[in-house]
A and B are shown apart, each in its own frame.
Chain A
């Protein structure tokens, strides 16, 4: 029985797009979901813990099987599985794209949760006129403006007749509003905030790059070499100087900025990054394993 795969012929678990059968099934699923959530709220904590563990395990199990269970080799669309093992591998393979879509759906609902949190905090601040409530008002107004103009523009563009909106001459006030808020304000404020990083890099480097110890001095010198190698003019002058000293001696030639910087990258930086990557990767795997098997006690229990 194909529980997840969107297959033809139709099974109990799916229905044709836009049909009344689909909407009835969606409504029933919604009622069932609300009933389940309400039931869980009143369930004792021990039962809830087990429900969470089982759901976590089953959800993680799908991708563990996807990676580990032998995937079908050279499968054609109309192939039938040769036994139970291959039937399971066909099912997992068919379901993967549907599971990916499920994550998209959950992400959509989570945005609603985020909006709820924002509104609760900031509307509360405005109502009680707490410190800096003006900023909260700006946030709430900006949010509703963006929702209004952004969604309005999107709805208009979905109409097949409105392909003319690709030309600015055919824009209405909603389209101009979205353009002002998104391209004019949000995009440029994003770029402005990122530009601030340049100033912070300068002040952080000035404050932190001090030769206080041997290791710090080595770090400082290698950083200077790498920075100088990015400057084409300096690289040319340095190479000219090296060529004047000895154009044919390979040992002297290996002191060119590009050669030194390349050596530092290949033999110092890359192995160090690889080493840290190994550790981080193993740590991530261990963390994932503990979460999947619900071995972790959360909350920083001592």
Chain B
């Protein structure tokens, strides 16, 4: 709503407060697209939440078992796919088995499976071992009743896998409970961590109901403020948010925490400990690919806001 009468002959500065939308959209399209063609290593100081996420994941015993709830779809792949890839790299390098399920969207299991296959292929290409469905991870698919399912996981975790089938490579469907992932599992507390990768409201559903297993979340950038209060209170052991969070993880995967070197990342919380990185492995991912574009788009956003305000003040001054 304009506070001043529209001027029939606005000056250049006054015109700045009413740039047509097609012009703004065109500039944004150019500014956000061109940096995607360049791969530039940018300086970055990871935030505490990302450092905690990496450290707690690295402290999981090799070969242990975790639950991975994947509730993102291709609509948020710009952020969520990068987060998922970074997490899967860590899990695969530590040979951690996981139970994959979704409570947020019917498309989510398929996009998660596709991402697992891609990351497994990339790990094989850099000298790792392939991750096999049914042997190293079991896919329980989508559950429509989110609240009831998460309650059931906390109460009686094996009940959610009853009757579910998964597909080992080169074989027909098999009962999911026969998977090596479920061997020795009697309760949700037998899982070492509950990871959630989401861009929807399933964060609260899980936080309210999972009490016997530690939680770590990977969320889209817009959900970071909401989840920061849970991280600050200690309900979440770590939090990774948005493209910045992904880039933080990729930076830490390269350098480690409190590891002496040119890219030293210090953390007071882990003083006295040195948590290694994964130098020599393929750590770059969507965070590195998109961080430069993020810089340019944020800069454009700031410029647009400043220009709009300059135009507004010019119009106000003219009206006086």
A–B contact at 8 Å CB threshold (below): yes
**Chain A residues close to B by CB (< 8 Å):** 66, 93, 96-97, 99-101, 103-104, 107-108, 158, 160-161, 163, 166, 182, 186-188, 190-191, 193-194, 198-199, 201-203, 205-207, 209-212, 220, 223-224, 227-228, 230-233, 235-236, 239, 258, 262, 265-266, 269-270, 273-274, 277
Task: State whether A96 touches B148 (Cβ < 8 A).
Answer: yes
**Interface bits B221-240 vs A (CB < 8 Å: 1, else 0):** 00001101100100000000
CB closest residue in chain B, given A188? B74
**Chain B residues close to A by CB (< 8 Å):** 3, 19, 21, 24-25, 28-29, 32, 42-45, 47-48, 73-77, 107, 110-111, 143-145, 147-149, 151-152, 155-156, 159-160, 167, 169-173, 225-226, 228-229, 232, 244, 247, 291, 294-295, 297-302, 304-305, 307-309, 312
Task: State whether B173 touches A199 (Cβ < 8 A).
Answer: no
Given contacts A209-B308, A210-B309, A212-B3, contact A194 B45 (CB under 8 A): no
Say whether chain B's binding surface is mostly helix, strand, loop, or mixed.
helix
Task: State whether A203 touches B25 (Cβ < 8 A).
Answer: yes
Task: State whether B232 touches A193 (Cβ < 8 A).
Answer: no
CB closest residue in chain A, given B148? A100
With contacts A262-B48, A266-B232 known, what are 11 further pairs, Cβ within 8 A? A96-B151, A97-B148, A97-B155, A99-B148, A198-B297, A199-B29, A205-B304, A209-B308, A227-B298, A231-B298, A236-B45
> Bound complex: CA of A194 vs CA of B149, how far in Å?
28
CB closest residue in chain B, given A232? B44
Residues from chain B with Cβ under 8 Å of A194 in the complex: 75-76
Residues from chain B with Cβ under 8 Å of A269 in the complex: 225, 228
CB closest residue in chain A, given B229? A270
Task: State whether B144 touches A103 (Cβ < 8 A).
Answer: yes
Jot down 26 A-B pairs with beta carbons below 8 A, ordered by A.
A66-B151, A96-B148, A100-B145, A100-B151, A100-B152, A103-B144, A104-B143, A104-B145, A108-B144, A163-B170, A163-B171, A187-B73, A199-B24, A199-B25, A199-B29, A202-B25, A206-B304, A206-B307, A206-B308, A209-B308, A212-B3, A220-B305, A235-B44, A236-B43, A239-B45, A265-B225
Task: State whether B291 touches A232 (Cβ < 8 A).
Answer: yes
Q: Which of A193, A223, A230 has the most CB of B within 10 A?
A: A230
CB closest residue in chain A, given B3? A212
Residues from chain A with Cβ under 8 Å of B228 in the complex: 265-266, 269-270, 273
Task: Give chain B nearest CB distance to A150 CB in angstroms.
Answer: 11
